[in-house]
Amino acid sequence: MTQNTPTIRDIEEAHRRISPYIHKTPVLTSTLINEEYGAELYFKCENFQRTGSFKFRGATNALEHLTGEAAGQGVGTHSSGNHAAALALAAKQHHTEAHIVMPRNASAVKQRAVEQYGARITWCEPGLDSREATYREVEKQTGAHFVHPSSDEHVICGQGTATKELLEEIPELDVVIAPVGGGGLTSGMAIAARSMKKGIRILAAEPSMADDAYRSFTQGFLIPVDRPNTIADGLLTSLSPLTFKIISNYLDDIYTTSESAIIQAMRLIWERMKLVAEPSAAVPLAAVLENRFVFKDKKIGIILSGGNVNLDKLPFAPKKQDK
């Protein structure tokens, strides 16, 4: 895990390196939502990214920077989520192995995705202690290079390419906003946007039920998340010293959102935009809709971070008036 603060030059280099592997995802807008809410919302559709989330950008850039002996010994991480699938496919495409430590209670859907990309799974008990202990064992046996899901300069630069593409396509944006969990996506966005467009407002959105980034940002020191409990399962992790430093330096503000606002925003994206987005990806729209007066008449770029959901466990409650 490297700890330097990257620059826009590093993001530009990352973009050159990962372009042969990633999808240049489309930017979509909804006439109906824009008319109803009095703003112009542009969604950078990373749910269409390979492996279903932006994580593939950062994982691919991390693999691109592995050289020599390190590359031969493969990469590894502990994750039950999008980073695991992203690292698995990136490793496969770079002809090396991925070693993924997954908790036994990870969903079968996510397990299948990681297996499908040819990664080696080692099971552990749920909880960070078991994950880290099991991973150390795997690392000792394989020599795999650890790729952190967010606190890694190559990962941050990879994630920043989503914002670079967004601002190249829609340069007139007034605001960019992304969901914040470990802070890799937000850090990459902030570095790219601050350098590419003077005066743009750079925001993050976070569930109130996992508001460590908000509290760290407003209080000025790193406060780890305490028993997070949100439907946005991609945002359960805390900032690291590296991502906290970048976010403190570059971000204008962080908005927190309620669980019901997240579900309502997710429903709007599915119903009106016909896009499958995961709860974490709906958090920025929830923040925009809950603070309408702030965003009125603005051109807002939203990083729609991913679309990996279990279709058998959707949060949409049947409404009584519906037949």
Residues interacting with a copy of itself, by CB under 8 A?
23, 26, 28, 31, 45, 47-48, 50, 52, 105-109, 267, 270-271, 273-277, 307, 310-314, 316-319, 321-323
Give 157 or 275: the residue with its C-beta nearer to a copy of itself. 275
Q: Shortest approach of a copy of itself to residue 133 CB, angstroms?
A: 23
Q: Shortest approach of a copy of itself to residue 208 CB, angstroms?
A: 24
Give 27 or 70: the residue with its C-beta nearer to a copy of itself. 27
As a whole number of angstroms, the distance between CA 136 and CA 69 comes to 19
Closest CA to 57 of 188, 159, 185, 190: 159
Give 25 or 238: the residue with its C-beta nearer to a copy of itself. 25
As a whole number of angstroms, the distance between CA 300 and CA 27 comes to 12
Q: What is the DSSP letter of 117?
A: T
Give 68 or 108: the residue with its C-beta nearer to a copy of itself. 108
Residue type (1 letter), 247: I
Give 293 or 311: the residue with its C-beta nearer to a copy of itself. 311
Give 185 or 242: the residue with its C-beta nearer to a copy of itself. 185
The upper half-sphere exposure of residue 183, i.e. CA atoms within 13 Å in the direction of its Cβ, equals 29
Residue 224 CB neighbour total at 10 angstroms: 12
Sign of CA dihedral 119, 52, 278, 309: negative
- The answer to whether 205 and 287 have CB atoms below 8 angstroms apart is yes
At 313, list the tokens. 């466990």
Residue 1 CB neighbour total at 10 angstroms: 13
Q: Shortest approach of a copy of itself to residue 307 CB, angstroms?
A: 4
* Distances, alpha carbon 311 to alpha carbons 51, 103, 107, 269, 291, in Å: 16, 21, 12, 15, 30
As a whole number of angstroms, the distance between CA 220 and CA 110 comes to 36
Q: Shortest approach of a copy of itself to residue 48 CB, angstroms?
A: 6
Give the distance, in angstroms, between the CA of residue 1 and the centroid of all CA atoms in the same chain. Answer: 18
Q: Shortest approach of a copy of itself to residue 30 CB, angstroms?
A: 9
As a whole number of angstroms, the distance between CA 139 and CA 303 comes to 33
Q: Shortest approach of a copy of itself to residue 243 CB, angstroms?
A: 26
Give 71 or 276: the residue with its C-beta nearer to a copy of itself. 276
As a whole number of angstroms, the distance between CA 100 and CA 118 comes to 11
Q: Shortest approach of a copy of itself to residue 118 CB, angstroms?
A: 13
Q: Shortest approach of a copy of itself to residue 55 CB, angstroms?
A: 14
Give 247 or 268: the residue with its C-beta nearer to a copy of itself. 268
298: left (phi over 0), alpha (psi -120 to 50) or beta: beta
